[in-house]
Structure 1
């Protein structure tokens, strides 16, 4: 009976060792020294008649090169690193707006979010 156990232990040990090597695949992508574009901070909005003026503070350093603004199905890409942007002709509804920075390789930052509801009354 002891001899039969020996023959089962070796294959099970081999399967266990080979299975553990593949477990590294779960976190391997996070071990690279990839530098992401830093995010904008202090995102605020001033709402007006069907408009929203977005303002933020750009990150320090020179990694971030441009800005991307997303809301609903709209994507706005700028050609430079702006610190404010005016959204015009908005409908009278709530908008969840995300502002990203983009580095020279096209990598986006973690978004900064703000929820705005434009005014329906002219001043």
Structure 2
């Protein structure tokens, strides 16, 4: 028996849900209108390279979305969500978050 293969729209929806985003979030992250994003997930049209890159920067496994093959280096849901949040901060917020994480990891390793 042959399994039904997901199309690009199905995989895009799967990635959005994996990351905990709404369709409105997906549209905003891809820098397209809500109706356009809905058409992507419905398989009526396809995201361009710019939109795919923006989605990638927010944790989407774009290799999987386009090809159906998971990126072996793909991060966990939690890691992807944290990196997406970090990518949405300004430089000051990013520097603060990285310094705090490094400090916490250093403390952990000193007492582990």
TM-score normalised to structure 1 length: 0.22
Select the structure of larger CA radius of gyration: 1
TM-score normalised to structure 2 length: 0.24
Greater RCO (CA < 8 Å, at least 6 residues apart): 1
Whichever structure has more helix as a proportion of its residues is: 2
